[in-house]
Amino acid sequence: MGSGGGKSEYRGRKTKIPRHIAIIMDGNGRWAQSRNLPRHAGHRAGVESVRVAVEECAKQGVEVLTLFAFSSENWNRPKKEVGLLFDLFMMALQRDVKRMKKNNVRLRIIGDRTAFPDKLQKRIHIAEEETANNTGLLLQIAANYGGRWDITQAARSVAEKVKSGELQPEDITEATLSAELSFAGLPEPDLFIRTGGEQRISNFILWQSAYSELYFTERLWPDFDAAEFDRALKEFSQRERRFGQTSEQIKEQQK
Ligand code: IPE
Ligand code: IPE
Ligand code: MG
């Protein structure tokens, strides 16, 4: 799929439900702090919002949901918080696989998992295997993921192909690089949500968000419920995606 793949596929749809939603789930710590609770209580509350988001996506017919759970830079947090986040991740994987099977959700973890404890890597592998044949929503959890890491590892794969003679430098196109990225073969995110009030990307998807609609909300992630999710979808459906064209051209195509 080339970099324009997501665009044209999206255009073919009659309804304006995004095929792919990506979310930076931010604000767990502040949610907890405002209740005089430790930060990890916020992360725990955030897991419930993940369940809600997955359910809503499945219900609305969204094909892919990509959630930012742990960034390449989150290693810089206090060791204790990182450890508690991994424990929570482990627990959620254990507990929710059954639910995913029941709801026909396919789970995939994206990011550099080699840095995770062995136990967690095994658990991830099991969860992916057990849901691999599900045909409903694809749930991608971005863990130890960074947009720059993704582009770097894709560049490395392309370089290997050039080195082995499989590919000539002059044949490298946007599609060549796209094919090596973590989202290869998937529609690019149509809707990119960040909760928690910050208006930045924080090294989440970079290449694949070239034409995503950005949606920022003050709501903290643990408070992001079904009604908030619907609000984001409604706003998305009112946006005009022009992909470089004029508004007149878009209206003409919609006739
Ligand atoms: C997002 O919430 C979750 C992770 C980064 C793991 P935060 O923990 O960043 O919450 P705030 O931004 O401090 O409120
Ligand atoms: C982004 O949130 C990462 C995740 C939600 C996993 P951060 O809280 O780490 O982002 P910054 O540090 O405020 O930019
Ligand atoms: Mg944060």
Residue 10 has pLDDT above 80, yes or no: no
Mean pLDDT of 115-129: 95
Domain count, the chain: 1
Report d(CA 135, CA 152) in Å as an integer.
30
What is residue 190's predicted lDDT score, i.e. its pLDDT? 98
Greater pLDDT, 4 or 197: 197
Distance, CA of 138 to CA of 143 (rounded, Å): 16
CATH number at residue 200: 3.40.1180.10
Quick check: is 178 in a domain? no
Ligand 2 centroid to Cα of residue 50, in Å, is: 16
User: Which structural domain range is residue 233 located in?
Assistant: 17-146+189-237
Q: Hey, which residues does 214 pair with through a beta bridge? A: 192
Residue 191, both tokens: 């809707």
**Is residue 89 assigned to a domain?**
yes
Q: Which ligand is nearest to the CA of 23?
A: 2
Q: Is residue 252 part of a domain?
A: no
Of 24, 26, 202, 223, the one to substitute when testing ligand 1's pocket (max ligand atoms within 8 A of C-beta) is 26
Domain assignment present for residue 6? The answer is: no
Task: Classify residue 100: in a domain, yes or no.
Answer: yes
Question: Smallest Cα–Cα separation from 245: which of 17, 2, 16, 4?
Answer: 4
Ligand 2 atom, smallest distance to 25 CA? 5
Q: Whose CA is nearest to atom 11 of ligand 2?
A: 202
What residues act catalytically?
26, 74
Per-residue pLDDT reduced to its tens digit, 177-235:
999 999 999 999 999 999 999 999 999 999 999 999 999 999 999 999 999 999 999 99
How far does the centroid of ligand 3 lie from the alpha carbon of residue 81, in Å? 13
Nearest ligand, CA 224: 1
CB 221 within 8 A of CB 195: yes
> How far is Cα 132 from Cα 209, in angstroms, rounded to an integer?
26
- The answer to whether position 226 is within a domain reads yes
Mean pLDDT computed over 98-109: 95
Average pLDDT of the residues of the chain: 94
Average pLDDT over every residue of 110-128: 95
User: Chain-centre distance of CA 80, in angstroms?
Assistant: 25
